[in-house]
Amino acid sequence: MRPKLCIDTDHIRNLRVDMGLRFLHCADVHLGKNYNQGEERYLDYFRALDSVVEYAVKGNVDAVFIAGDLFDEQSPSAQTIVLAAKSLRPLREAGIRTVAIEGNHDRKKRTESACALDILASEGYLQLLRPDIENQSLGLAPVTNPVEGSLISINGVTIAGLGFIGHNPEKYLQQAAAQLPADTPNVVLYHTMVVDKEDSIGYGYCLYSEIEDLKGRISYLALGHRHTRVGTKDEFDGWVLNPGSLEFVHPYDFRQSHDLRGFYDVTLQDDGSVSAEHIPTKKRPAVYIRVDVTDASTVAAFTEAVLQAVEDGLKNESFERSPIVVMKIEGTLGIARHLIPKAGLVQAILERHDVLHAEIVEGTAARKTEGELLLIDPTDLDNVADRARSIVKEIITSEAIAPGREQELADAIIDLKERFATDSYSLKDEHYIDIRKALHEFASEEDPET
């Protein structure tokens, strides 16, 4: 039985909205993440969701909207699905409507007819909204059962769910908006990131200037995907909101304020006016420590620098729960990267301090260029290939590409690179065809237009 984690509920508005709709908007729950860090960290993500559910029940809200990535992967374990159902059950028992969409982490595979969200929906824990996309055209249709359809009405408010669309998400949002009724307030759930600068655009991102004309037709754009909140009064005219993740998800998240992640308590009136309050969730305590290793020219000196930095960082600190410690290596490395004793350092920190988990990230630390400090021996081809695969996997993981299959994709990419590096190759070569097939599966999963 996992310990109950409550948030401060003293200010909860214990009333239903007489007119309009009151709902909670959350996203990026990532249930099932960090199982490799032990059961306690694994359960942290369920505790975060439990706190939202508790708030919803005590506040007597009308609905809870989950804007993608309820799960951390496309095929979560049976245990993760069972615990997710347990967390959502109080909403079902209280008669609170739970509406969800797919995110990039937990969406249905193209080779399968259902995903974990379909399981929860079929058992009445949530209504799953999923649009039809064919020939670059998005269609919205009223729900016909818990897993089919993309439009639903609650208290006279129309809710549309678009899921995650990596390519041209603004185009599909425009198509969806054109199909929304003109005589009701409209909420759209969309697992995408909205940015205001063109140089910030990336895969699965929308440029605000390309969707701002939709204000009015869309009363509230409920986003997911970005793990920090969006939606202050000065951002995107107050109708585009992203609550951030409920818990810290990636190592670099720990350097940011706890208040940037949580959920929105939203009241949408019949006239389309919106009132939204961001409620930060309580998270596993974390300490983000920057370690300057410029003067550490030996492994022993490097080790001492890290351990001393952790000692100083935890000094005079007290925590309700055992914290996570993330150490970012900065400065100029005086030893080769492959000599960094990560496992030994983590073990030493766990033995010396009451921490749940410790992790080292190399960050932007530069490396001296003398020959003896090269990353690896360039003549040791096996070592070169292994390190290359490791780097590619780290990049894939940091970008949340192919969740749960990072190593498989990294292997295929490096195999392809090695093949192209040979003196001669043919696109009809049997080995090349095998690699192409391996990569094509990932490409087809990412591109709704293919």
In a domain, 96, yes or no: yes
275 and 289 assigned to the same domain:
no
Going by their DSSP bridges, the two strands 186-190 and 220-223 should be labelled as parallel
Going by their DSSP bridges, the two strands 157-163 and 186-190 should be labelled as parallel
Count the domains in the chain: 3
Instruction: Answer yes or no: are the C-beta atoms of 254 and 361 closer than 8 Å.
Output: no
CA 171/CA 207 separation, integer angstroms: 11
232 and 367 assigned to the same domain:
no
Q: Which domain holds residue 439?
A: 387-450
pLDDT tens sequence across 407-423: 777 777 776 776 665 54
| Spatial CA neighbour of 24 closest among 95, 92, 97 | 97
pLDDT tens sequence across 324-372: 999 999 888 888 878 889 999 999 999 999 999 998 887 655 554 443 3
368 and 393 assigned to the same domain:
no
Instruction: Answer yes or no: are the C-beta atoms of 22 and 267 closer than 8 Å.
Output: yes
Half-sphere exposure (Cβ direction) of 435: Cα atoms closer than 13 Å: 18
Decide which of 437 and 126 is more confident. Answer: 126
pLDDT tens sequence across 20-47: 899 999 999 999 997 667 899 999 999 9
In a domain, 444, yes or no: yes
429 and 302 assigned to the same domain:
no
How much of the chain exceeds pLDDT 70, in percent? 78
DSSP assignment letter at 425: -
Residue ending a domain, among 225, 250, 280, is 280
Q: Residue 118 is encoded by which pair of tokens?
A: 């379909």
210 and 299 assigned to the same domain:
no
Average pLDDT, the chain: 83
pTM: 0.76
127 and 165 assigned to the same domain:
yes
Residue ending a domain, among 262, 280, 298, is 280
In a domain, 426, yes or no: yes
Is 60 exceeded by the pLDDT of residue 321? Answer: yes
In a domain, 8, yes or no: no
168 and 227 assigned to the same domain:
yes
Is 60 exceeded by the pLDDT of residue 448? Answer: no
Instruction: Answer yes or no: are the C-beta atoms of 297 and 336 closer than 8 Å.
Output: no
417 and 444 assigned to the same domain:
yes
360 and 414 assigned to the same domain:
no
- Which residues lie closer than 8 Å to 375 by C-beta, 6 or more apart? 336, 337, 338, 367, 387
Q: Residue 90 is encoded by which pair of tokens?
A: 């109080």
In a domain, 16, yes or no: no
CA 192/CA 240 separation, integer angstroms: 11
Name 130's bridge partners.
149
How much of the chain exceeds pLDDT 90, in percent? 53
In a domain, 265, yes or no: yes
Is 50 exceeded by the pLDDT of residue 395? Answer: yes
The least confident of 29-38, 66-75, 142-151, 220-229 is 29-38
299 and 401 assigned to the same domain:
no
Instruction: Answer yes or no: are the C-beta atoms of 335 and 299 closer than 8 Å.
Output: yes
342 and 426 assigned to the same domain:
no
Q: Tell me, what CATH number does 178's domain have? A: 3.60.21.10
* Alpha-helical segments (H) within 94-154: 116-122
Residue ending a domain, among 248, 280, 312, is 280
Decide which of 202 and 152 is more confident. Answer: 152
236 and 343 assigned to the same domain:
no
In a domain, 6, yes or no: no
pLDDT tens sequence across 160-171: 999 999 888 999
In a domain, 65, yes or no: yes
